[in-house]
Structure formats: C-alpha cells, structure tokens
Amino acid sequence: MTSMRLGRSRRSIGIFLSVFILLFIVIAPFYWIFSSSIKSPQEIISRNITFLPQSFTLQHYHKLLASSDFPTYLLNSFIVAFLTMVFTVLISSMAAYAIYRLEFPGRSLISRLILLTYAFPTILLLIPLYMMLSTMQPKLIDTLWGLVIVNVTFAAPFAVWMLRAFFQNVPVDLEDAAALDGASRIQTMWHIMLPLTAPGISSMAIYAFILSWTEYMFASVLIISDARRTLPVGLAGIIGQYQVDWGLLLAGSVVTTLPVLILFSLVGRNFVEGLTAGAVK
C-alpha cells in the first residue's frame, strides 16, 4: 500500500510539474510582452532585466494609436478576418452538406480530394494566385477582397473536413421528416442541420477568423499600398533597417493579441468542444 501511495504521489507531482511548465511556456511570453509594453524606453533596452516593471507609462500605446497608421491596419485586418469568417462559414456549410448528405456522382472522390490544397506548401501557390488575381477584371491585387478570396481558399477545405463528423452524426430521419413536411433542401440545411451542428460551425468560424487575422505571407505580397496593409504586415514595417522602436512594437503586439483573446474568452469552449466532438463522432 505504501509503495502504491508513493507511486500515485509521484505521478501527481509529475502531472502538476508538467502542467505548470506548460502554463509557464504559454503564459510567460504574453506576460513579457505586456509588461514590457508599459515600461519606459530606457527600461526596455536596459541590460538589467526586470520581470516587474520599475516604471509605468502608456506613451507607447498613445503613440501607436495617435501617431501611427496602426488604427488603419487594425481596421483592415478586422474587415478581412470578418469577411473571411462569414464567407468560409457560408461556403463550407453548403459544401459539407452537399458532400456528406447528398448522393451524386463523384461524391467519394471529392470527399477524398477536399484536403488536397494542404498537400502542397502554400508558398508554391503564391505566384499562380498572384497571376490569377492580377489578370482578373477588376484586378484584385492591392485590395482587401483579394486577401479575403485567398484566405477563404485556404480555410474552406479544412472547414469542410471539420464539419464531416457533425453532418454525418445527424440522423437521416430528421431530413426525411422535414421533407414530408414540405421543406426544401435549403430549408432543411438552414433550419435543421446548421442548428444541430452549431459547435462545428463555431469551431469553423473561429478557425477562419484566426487564420485570416494572423496571415502574413500573402498579405505582404498582394498588398502594395500602405493604406491597405493588415496588422502582421504593418507590425513588420515598424522594424526599421537600423533601429527598432521596441515600445511601439510591443504595444502593437498586445493590441493585436487582444481580439483573439476576447474571441476565445467568449466562444473558446465551443471551439474546444467542436474539435473534440468532431474527433470522436
């Protein structure tokens, strides 16, 4: 009995230490960024590292919001991320319903090829997508709509795959009952399938929003003018060739992280439940 208790105690201590180390790895960078953003410029670049701020100032946030183009970058990122989320939800919901609930020739092949876009490095698609967007009329280079189209292109396949388990878990009898009551396919999808797959829809929406919010490579190439830059590209522009305004960069990082944290605090539980439910259904 003593050896069993000792073994359980060691396992408990091991689990506690593992969780503590994991939390420290996750939380420490966020704390360091936030605490440094309210330090004076002298304290930020000081050789004596201070874990607790010895000075307190909001001058970096004031400069960020009043004397830089950061508000424009923030608005552009929000527009692109919101539109990406909306169109991904609409397109992926209809595509998942058609692929996993309807019978048509080539259905199995499409289901297997749905994730083919992730089989290639995204950088290989940069030049083809650039050429396609530049030849379209009107041209979508240096427009927010071009970024939305690219982000939806990469978010939709995974979102469709994510909804597979949720759609397949809904009993077919519900659709048959709706058909007997005179409901069309569209009405069945909107009034029966989507409410029953709400956790999956929430997970898909959060995934599309964060993917667009943090996307850098295509935004740095497809956007030319400074007025249409998004947050990742705008923050990268703060890093100069010979000097870096660390206070401004840290304050921008904090403000950039806040929308994602707020989103997870509101619907993060649905995101986790959606992923775990889809994994076992």
Q: How many distinct helices (H) and strands (E) make up the chain? A: 14, 0
- Cα–Cα nearest to 210, from 236, 228, 232: 232
Cβ atoms within 10 Å, residue 44? 19
* Pair of tokens at residue 174: 């519900």
**pTM metric for this prediction:** 0.82
Q: What's the CA gap between 120 and 193, in Å, rounded?
A: 32
Could you list the mean pLDDT of each consecutive 10-residue stretch along the chain, which spans 281 residues?
A: 62 79 82 87 82 85 87 93 94 86 79 76 85 84 91 89 80 79 80 81 87 91 90 81 76 87 71 55 44
CA 238 from chain centre, in angstroms, equals 23
Angle between helices 70-101 and 144-169 (to 10 degrees): 40
Tell me the CB-side half-sphere exposure of residue 89, using CA atoms within 13 A: 20
* pLDDT at position 88: 94
Contacts of 230 (CB under 8 A, 6+ apart): 73, 76, 77, 80, 147, 215, 219, 223
pLDDT at 219: 92
144, 256 in Cβ contact below 8 A? no
Would you say the C-alpha torsion 41, 44, 48, 49 has a positive or negative sign?
positive
Are 228 and 221 in contact by the 8 Å Cβ rule? The answer is no
First to last CA, the chain: 40
Contacts of 185 (CB under 8 A, 6+ apart): 102
pLDDT given at position 109: 81
| pLDDT value of position 152 | 93
The residue assigned the tokens 């183009």 is 69
Q: Which helix (H) or strand (E) holds 179?
A: helix 172-180
